[in-house]
Chain A
Amino acid sequence: MWTEIEPLLDNVQKPARYIGGEGGAQEPEHASDKVAWLLTYPDTYEVGLPNQGLQILYEIVNERDDAVAERSYAPWTDMEEQLRAAGLPLFSVDTHKPADAFDIIAFNLSAELTYTNLLNCVDLAGAPVRAADRTPEDLLVIVGGHCTYNPEPIADFIDAVVLGDGEEVIGEITDVVHAWKNNDRAGGREAVLRQLSQLEGVYIPSLYEATYDGQTLVSVLPKCDDVPERVEKRTVADLADWPYPKHQLVPLTDVVHDRLNVEVFRGCTRGCRFCQAGMITRPVRERPAEQVRTMIAEGIKRSGYDEVALTSLSTADFSGIEDVIKDTMDDPSCSQVSISLPSLRVDAFGVGIAAELQRGRRSGLTFAPEAGTWRMRQVINKLILEEDLYGAVDSAFSQGWRRSKLYFLTGLPTETDEDTEGIFELARNCVKIGKKYTGGASVTVSVGGFVPKPFTPFQWFGQNTVEELRRKVGVLLEQNKISRGVQFKWHDPEATLVEGLMSRGDRRLGPVIEDVWRNGGVFQEWSEHFDLQRWLDACERHDVDIEWYVYRHRTEDEVFPWDHLSAGLHKDFLWQEWRDALDEVGLEDCRWTPCYDCGACTGYGIEHVVASATPPAGGSQGTGQNLAVGGAVPVELLSKSGAVVG
């Protein structure tokens, strides 16, 4: 339908969002007996294109003979208006086919505030937004990504949910849909969903019934015997088997993270108690260093990028990090390439590596201490000593960086004003350190409101109220007045409230989401479109007590809306972690200390895949030292040769 879309593009901002044609893009040939996937990111092209999960699946599906995959992204409001006025549906950017030319529309959900966009995309695709209203000819709506560990708020709108890594299960889903489609869709939607429910890692919300006792959720149980009582996540045991994306997409226009991205490991066992990503992706699975090197060299050659990011939840912990960096910098074909580590560990070792890597201009380095006092950091198990941070900042400023950015959370369990003010105490000390090296030293403090997430030790915690978060922002603003050289940024507490509602909500939120969407509430991640009143009004219309969902502390016997799903973690492990948090007791990293049986490996018969048995140098963060004192920080800087420092 390109000829119909083309004239609309003169009337919209950033028309390059809709043209496709990226380096690495495919134009797969559809056929009536093939299964066609429309892989969709429910936010703008710029945010969605770099999504590695979708790019991996795009390649895996297109390698099959019996399936094709194309991509689409949520059209911005101006384009949506154009499409609706012209009576045109959502389309793929690869060959510009209408959404109804596909069998499956699959979404990556990485943020709760995109839920209304999901509804909008399904509606634009021409399918009924409620799964119950769809016919066998309508699209199957499948979701994956981190938010799907509690998909209950969107249960009404989706047909199937994938928990965990998608590399293997996407093939199994394709097989099932292929057989069904080529058998005249026998048995209708009911039949194919029932078969999908038999796949490990696939959850079919419509095959489960939620029961309540007044406000309280009693259970979510399968409606039939052959449907599993509990759906377990999928875990790819060895990343070496999946060297994807092999042809990372190279966009023609501006996107976020516009560089080569190579995933060096998946999972994290540092055990930060607020961090859902760390908990649900256990255990650690490293990519062999040799494969990382090949992916860098080939990716750079093919894409023409001059920057590669080594991605993971904590890249300095990659056991092959020094070798990979050294080899890449010594490789003549990578001579112009700079390497970046998006997740920098807070210590001098991390900065030492960053210094080796970053050629050219040194503008800013970002660290995430997350909390302002050691007491608070013990509660959240982010075991960074003040000295670690100061060492990191000293190292950064002494090696030419002029700005540091520090990330914090506020609204954490047991947080006092002393903890909140501690954020600025750290920041002021960092500025002081910076001034030793440059008069223009500045530190940016960025503070987000904490949202308790499913499958974390903090899932029992009642989130801070909007008023309380606002008050804390006020405390921080007071501090900001007396802190020269510190810039302060904070996240809107109102958006934090809605995130909290979605994060731990249940099926009764479906009507609220639909209401907000019907009243025009799309792109809620974007402050220019977010409007809390719309959510409050919808909650009121549908009798949803937002405070009960968000602010209430849960007790040990609470039945969670996600109790019938599993990320492998034992609930009693999480509960013990919650108690330990309140007692300010830390927990070591199980990569280098004995397993404490959280369930992520033990339950699935897998284990860590780590190339080196010794912990990486530097830092006190779970490397086996006495956690209460942190221990020395052995910093080993790589040789200076090879780095061009501007």
Chain B
Amino acid sequence: MIVRLRFTKNGKIRFIGHRDVARIFERALRTAGLAVAYSEGFSPRPKVAFGLALSVGYESDNEYLDVVLAQPEDLEDVANRLTAALPAGLDLLEVGEIDRHANSLMEAVTSCEWVIDLATDDEAAVRASVDAMIAADRVVITRERKGKTVEDNIRPDLLSLKVSMNPETSTARITAELSTEGRSLRPAEFLGALEPSFEVTRVRRTHQWISHGDTRIEPHEADVSRAAHPNVGAS
């Protein structure tokens, strides 16, 4: 039985790394008494698969983890037991069963939506900069690839850019949908390409999208037979 977990990474815990999250889930699954299937071979590994890594310091409303359970479990029960075992900030939102043949999260997700809060309150300046980027034919950045410096045009990876004001802080905010196909475009790379550069205060992943032609869904809607929603935030 494969379950897809949807969870947040918010607050202080945003400062832990991707591997740390993996280890926390490994322990939480054990504390919750959920037996995870192990790979065969010389050094067996638990069969868990994360989606796209989230950089240290970034928050997220929608993170995903696929877990192969060794035996069938009641989804409601899985949700409640795991919720109790997870630390504050990694809040479980949903548990669904996915098809054995479902695409892995890495393959399936085609883009992510990011909400990026900037330190500046000069919305017009940010808008001008973003508009210039949208108007450009090519936006070239340099990246390291196998130890070599290469130039990449990221313009095709900019799927949507919107500028607004964050009402709480009265500072400028960019909502960006960035492609994850091929070499996934990171928020930091996009921000580095803006002219002039702006100081960033907070980055949050709000959605991960799976696009098929004109329709797009989120991973918890894909190949999911049943879903259970725990009480969000209860622990």
What's the least CB distance linking B208 to chain A, in Å? 23
B16 CB within 8 Å of chain A: yes
Q: Contact at A253–B27, with CB atoms within 8 Å?
A: no
Q: Contact at B26–A9, with CB atoms within 8 Å?
A: no
Q: Contact at B30–A252, with CB atoms within 8 Å?
A: no
A-side interface residues, number (CB < 8 Å): 25
Residues 234-263 (chain A) with a chain B CB within 8 angstroms? 250, 252-254
A646 CB within 8 Å of chain B: yes
Q: Contact at A20–B12, with CB atoms within 8 Å?
A: yes
CA distance A625 to B88 in the complex (A): 56
> Digit string of A20-38 for contact with B (CB within 8 Å is 1, else 0)?
1101000000000000000
List of A residues within 8 angstroms of B28 by Cβ: 304
The residue on B at minimum CB distance from A337 is: B30
A585 CB within 8 Å of chain B: no
Residues 6-25 (chain A) with a chain B CB within 8 angstroms? 7, 9-10, 15-16, 18-21, 23
List of A residues within 8 angstroms of B29 by Cβ: 304
B42 contacts which of A250, A303, A361 (Cβ < 8 Å)? A361
A518 CB within 8 Å of chain B: no
A76 CB within 8 Å of chain B: no
A-B contact count (CB 8 A): 58
Q: Contact at B27–A21, with CB atoms within 8 Å?
A: no
CA distance A588 to B172 in the complex (A): 75
A547 CB within 8 Å of chain B: no
B56 CB within 8 Å of chain A: yes
B31 contacts which of A19, A20, A21, A302 (Cβ < 8 Å)? A302
A306 CB within 8 Å of chain B: yes
B87 contacts which of A7, A9, A21, A303 (Cβ < 8 Å)? A21
Q: Contact at A250–B15, with CB atoms within 8 Å?
A: no
List of A residues within 8 angstroms of B44 by Cβ: 360, 646
A305 CB within 8 Å of chain B: yes
A336 CB within 8 Å of chain B: yes
Q: Contact at A336–B30, with CB atoms within 8 Å?
A: yes
CA distance A9 to B12 in the complex (A): 10
Q: Contact at A253–B20, with CB atoms within 8 Å?
A: yes
List of A residues within 8 angstroms of B27 by Cβ: 250, 303-305
List of B residues within 8 angstroms of A16 by Cβ: 15-17, 20, 56
CA distance A18 to B56 in the complex (A): 13
> Digit string of A602-646 for contact with B (CB within 8 Å is 1, else 0)?
000000000000000000000000000000000000000000001
CA distance A336 to B17 in the complex (A): 26
Residues of B within 8 A of A (CB): 12-13, 15-17, 19-20, 24, 26-31, 42-44, 56-57, 85, 87-89, 201
Give 16 pairs: A residue, B residue, CB < 8 Å, sorted on A: A2-B12, A10-B57, A15-B15, A16-B17, A21-B88, A23-B87, A250-B27, A252-B16, A253-B20, A254-B20, A304-B26, A304-B27, A304-B28, A304-B30, A360-B43, A360-B44
- Which 10 pairs across A and B sit closest by C-beta, in order of nearness? A304-B27, A304-B31, A15-B15, A304-B30, A19-B12, A16-B16, A253-B20, A361-B43, A16-B15, A252-B16
Residues of A within 8 A of B (CB): 2, 7, 9-10, 15-16, 18-21, 23, 250, 252-254, 301-306, 336, 360-361, 646
